[in-house]
Amino acid sequence: MKHKKLCVTLCSISLLLMLVALPLMVVPAAAAPEPAKKLLIGAAYGMTGPWISYTIPFGKCWKLQAKRINEQGGITVGGKKYLIRLKEIDTKCTPEGARAGVERLISLHGVKFILGPGLSSASVAVIPLMAQNKVFNISPVTTQKVLTRECPYYFKVHFPGSLVSRVYPEFLAERYPSISRMALVMPDDDAGYSEAEETKSGVAKVNKKQPGRLEIVFEDHYPKGTEDHAPILTAALAKKPDVIHLDAGAPEEMSVIVKQARELGYKGWFISGGGFTLERLNEIAGKDFAYNIIHTSFDINNPTEPYIPAGQEKRWQQFTKVFGDWAWLSKAWRDEYGEEMPGVVIYANDALPVMLYAIMAADSLDPDKVVKALEGMKFVPTYYGMGTWMGKETWGINHQIRRSIPLYEIKYGKQFPIRPPILPAYYP
């Protein structure tokens, strides 16, 4: 009997010990990682309208870059992971369409970061909305009217088209001694007149150092949609220019002007800071007419070298590791879209990477903090190398990037890099 009680007691004690130890034996399940949040970024660009040969490639570029970043796990902000979600809207390539689209992004979707609209008149139309609603904005445009102290949330991170017009005269005077007489043929709009004024400023600067080195012998502006440029070109050629400066026009417009000028017997040079689309130029003007043309572009088969000051190599390498470089973008474009990347992508390629780089540097999604972080960078990494900020003396705000500009010469349907390209030393 005592033996039986002893066994019961021992069993009870063993059971009690097991119950006490059981929680200690159970290994707690690892806490599931917090799922990545979504960072909504507006992508406002023309999906329909007269400028889609420019604007649709902008959207394609941003989608490829967002895809790359998301495949790497997104970006970290405030200790949390964010995947990039682009909210696209069609601006119809008009100021009215841009304003309506941006209003929807802000009011309906609560967007605080917007890429685009990507055209000068459209971007000028939405700048007040960006300022009123404190929306961080990067838009690839030609006009400098977007740079204003009234809107500290806008940054221009592609090369400044109008400033290309200002430094082109110095570039021509230095490297092309046979060129002295210039004709300006540009659209009858804000961008066209802005480019013309910048060109005149550049010519005046050259002539101050070398009196009489360059002369603007003709200027006229054509209405958008003009198909027959013979009257304006006939008047221009009567002044015997060595170079015709085309800018602020759509690639198709400028290609038509090249074709019609050649048909009128012009054998001189064309320059453009806006950039031709080589494929459209060859298609419209023909390869036999596509010669003696200098423009800003990018050719992955003949790339220009990135501008990287001493001591900035590591930062630039870190940037390209996250956001890619020209070689990656060109290959990704072919793989995704089954075509070669068009040259107009040079306007848009840095917009999303620089925006996200600034957000990561601020470690915040507060647009004011992102602005402060980007303004405080001595060097800003881009696909072209490192840039710095400029513009306060001219526009009252240092939100225009200053970096090297890739230049190419088109020779009978093919383009070749001009080395060295226009470097920051050329800038005013």
Domains of the chain, start order? 37-159+310-405 (3.40.50.2300), 162-301+410-426 (3.40.50.2300)
- Whole-angstrom distance, CA of residue 192 vs CA of residue 34: 51
pLDDT for 24: 46
pLDDT of 71 over the 60 cut = yes
| Alpha carbons 281 and 53: distance in angstroms, whole number | 12
What tens digit of pLDDT does each residue of 82-141 get? 999 999 999 999 999 999 999 999 999 999 999 999 888 899 999 999 999 999 999 988
The count of other CB atoms within 10 Å of the CB of residue 11 is 10
The pTM (predicted TM-score) of the whole model is: 0.79
> What residue type is 167 in one-letter code?
V
Mean pLDDT, to the nearest integer, of 208-235?
Answer: 96
Give CA separation, 347 vs 164, 192, 225, 233, 267, in Å.
Answer: 13, 17, 23, 28, 29
pLDDT in tens, 262-290: 999 999 999 998 668 888 899 999 999 99
CA gap 106, 42 in Å, rounded: 9
What share of the chain has pLDDT > 90, as a percent?
Answer: 66
**What region, left, alpha or beta, does residue 173 occupy, with left being phi > 0 and alpha being psi -120 to 50 degrees?**
alpha
- pLDDT at 411 exceeding the cut of 70: yes
Q: Tell me what pLDDT residue 31 has.
A: 59
Residue 197 CA to residue 160 CA, distance in Å, equals 14
* Weakest mean pLDDT among 51-55, 84-88, 140-144: 140-144
More confident residue, 109 or 25: 109
Sheet containing 37-45, strands listed edge to edge, beginning at the edge strand earlier in sequence = 75-77, 80-90, 37-45, 113-115, 136-138, 154-155
| pLDDT at 338 > cutoff 70 | yes
Instruction: Tell me how far apart the alpha carbons of residues 79 and 68 are, in angstroms, rounded to a whole number.
Output: 21
pLDDT mean across residues, the chain: 89
- Tell me the per-residue pLDDT of 250-262, one tens digit each, with 9 for 90 and over: 888 999 999 999 9
β-bridge partners, 257: none
- At residue 394, the pLDDT reads 80
The pair of structure tokens assigned to 165 is 């017009």
What is the Cα–Cα distance from 251 to 199, expressed in whole angstroms? 20
Token pair recorded at residue 250: 């759509």
